[in-house]
Amino acid sequence: MDAFLTSRIISDILGGLTNGVIYGLVALSLVLVWRSTGILNFAQGAMPMIATYLGMVVFAHRLGYWPLVAISIVAGFGVGGVTERVLVRHLYGKPEINPIVVMVGFLIVLEGVAAAIWSTTPRGIPNPFSPIDWQLGGKPIALSPFSVYEIVTALVVMSGVAVLFRFTKLGLQLRASALAPEVSRLLGVRVSRMLTLGWILSTGVGTICTVLVASNFFTGLTPQVMDGIFAFGFIAAAVGGLDSPVGAIVAGVSMGIVLQFVGDFVNSNAIIITALIILIVSLMVRPNGLFTKSTARRV
Amino acid sequence: MIVVEELSVSYGAVQALREVSFRAETGVITAVLGANGAGKTTLLRTISGLKEPAKGTITLDEHSLARQKPENIARLGVGHVPEGRGVISEFTVEENLRLGAMMAKVNLSDGLEEQYQRFPVLGERRKQHAAKLSGGERQMLAMARALIAQPSVLLLDEPSLGLAPQVTAQLMHTIRDLCASKGLTVILVEQNASTALRIADHAVILYLGRVVANDAASIIVADEDLRQHYLGKVE
């Protein structure tokens, strides 16, 4: 294999990894909501977008990057909690089509409101990480300080969620509330609070993801900033299994790498088609997702 | 002590319980018996807050339980082992117990150790998923999960359902021991009247949502008319 091809492959893997962790984070946030409330949140990209705008405008811009990140995440928690209490709570136990329609409508409303208030002009978020790729043997590789920041942040968030669910009392209650709400209540678990917490957590994760995407020098923050990424994250969640956080992350990262290779070696126009083919094939082979053990579905 | 007074519960137009009154004394096993559809499970679900009564009161010592949320009733010390056991299959044995211990005032490892001593098979299988347990083991896990919270009242809904006679006998022995050693108030719902009356101190018979007998278990066992009308064959 010549040096050019090797460098191209390494670049594709690194570039795919950077995109993949973002898809994985979006997928993870979708899974968190699905597992706790059985709702497919089509506004999962738009809610964190609002939180990030709030982070930008609520004086954080003047304080620097890290206060902006912190305020955006807190705003994300708030948006998630309020949405669950005010809107989503009325959808539990309703026919499956109701939450889908409501959440699609909510997405449109949020994007419209954001465009009306903040316009559709991209707003850059200055950050301390250079977007310029490092070089290997005199040639640039698809890895920059900013992409390392993205990968490390995503890994920290994913690990944090895993530790929360696996090793803490709160995580145990969140899982129990999703799996067996009635039994959990009989054991003293405040299931209603756990459902709200699931949305808070999910929107928090989504906001971290949105801040990362909007911090990219080449992207900036717009009302539609998460639309395309949400689509790939959604496919990753469906492929990995809507019940499986591990599946979401693995499918997200794998999809990022595969699509990077397709974009490089085939054509960038083939990326979306490939993603849809991956979705269709995986739904035909494993309708419940590659990492979901159970075939039962909670309704 | 649990006191149920004039309790009525409906599912839409269907009245499941009609002015049910009885007392479950502290440290005593009260069996609630009756045929299918008598309202036994509804009674337990109403005591633990899963079903709201149309009228009537339920009190645990000085606390009113009627119309309270199930999680608040659990925090008052009422443990409910539902019909079908209700263990979380996706959780390991230990995770099920950790969930039960959430409200316990004792140290978690002490609580786990106590349950593993009481039900040694759970200790051996602590890392296994509950889905892999046998029916009897799942019942033990459901009991252990309720007991680890150190309840003062234990509501047991058909604990013998689907179990082999030997396992049922062992389970009933454990319930009897718990009542004697911990002073637990036990309300035991059973379709199998013989099994329940063997360990119960007191019994309430429900028929179409009404109390038709409320007396010492020994008196009910001795009343042949009552047994024949409402309980079938009692050995």
Per-residue pLDDT tens digits for B203-221: 999 999 999 999 999 999 8
Q: Quote the pTM value.
A: 0.86
Residue of B nearest to A188 (CA): B71
- Least confident span in A6-10, A11-15, A178-182, B148-152: A6-10
pLDDT of A293 over the 90 cut = no
| Closest approach of B80 to chain A, Cα-based (Å) | 6
CB contact under 8 A, B71 and A175: no
CB contact under 8 A, A186 and B80: yes
Q: Given B50, B75, B91, which is nearest A188 (Cβ)?
A: B75
With cut-offs at 50, 70 and 90, classify the pLDDT of residue A59: low
Whole-angstrom distance, CA of residue B106 vs CA of residue B217: 34
CA–CA distance from A216 to each of A22, A144, A246, B71, B224 (Å)? 12, 11, 26, 46, 83
What type of residue sits at position A59? F
Query: What's the token pair of residue A7?
Result: 């460098």
Give the start-to-end residue ranges of the domains of chain A: 13-132+140-285
Determine the pLDDT at residue A118.
Answer: 94
C-alpha gyration radius of chain B: 17
Q: List CB contacts (< 8 A) between B95 and chain A.
A: 172
Average of per-residue pLDDT across B160-167: 83
Average of per-residue pLDDT across B126-154: 93
Q: Are strands B185-190 and B14-24 parallel, antiparallel or unpaired?
A: unpaired
Q: A255 near A239, Cβ under 8 Å?
A: yes
Residue B20, beta-bridge partner list: B7
CA–CA distance from B109 to each of B78, B88, B141 (Å)? 22, 20, 16
Complex ipTM: 0.92
CB contact under 8 A, B88 and A173: no
CB contact under 8 A, B102 and A294: no
Determine the pLDDT at residue B230.
Answer: 73
Domain A13-132+140-285 in CATH 1.10.3470? yes
Average of per-residue pLDDT across A153-157: 95
Q: Which residue in this structure is represented by tokens 């136990």?
A: A93
Q: What does pLDDT average to over chain A?
A: 91
Which residues 118-137 on chain B approach chain A with CB closer than 8 angstroms? none
C-alpha gyration radius of chain A: 19
Residue B155, beta-bridge partner list: B80, B187
| Closest approach of A209 to chain B, Cα-based (Å) | 29
Whole-angstrom distance, CA of residue B77 vs CA of residue B48: 10
Q: B193 near B231, Cβ under 8 Å?
A: yes
Q: A79 near A53, Cβ under 8 Å?
A: no
Q: List CB contacts (< 8 A) between A187 and chain B.
A: 74, 99-100, 102-103, 145, 149
Q: Does B76 touch chain A (CB under 8 A)?
A: no
Determine the pLDDT at residue A139.
Answer: 79
- Per DSSP, helices labelled H in chain B are 40-47, 70-75, 93-100, 108-118, 120-124, 135-147, 165-182, 193-199, 217-222, 224-226
Determine the pLDDT at residue A60.
Answer: 60
Residue B76 CB neighbour total at 10 angstroms: 17
pLDDT of A150 over the 90 cut = yes
Determine the pLDDT at residue A292.
Answer: 77
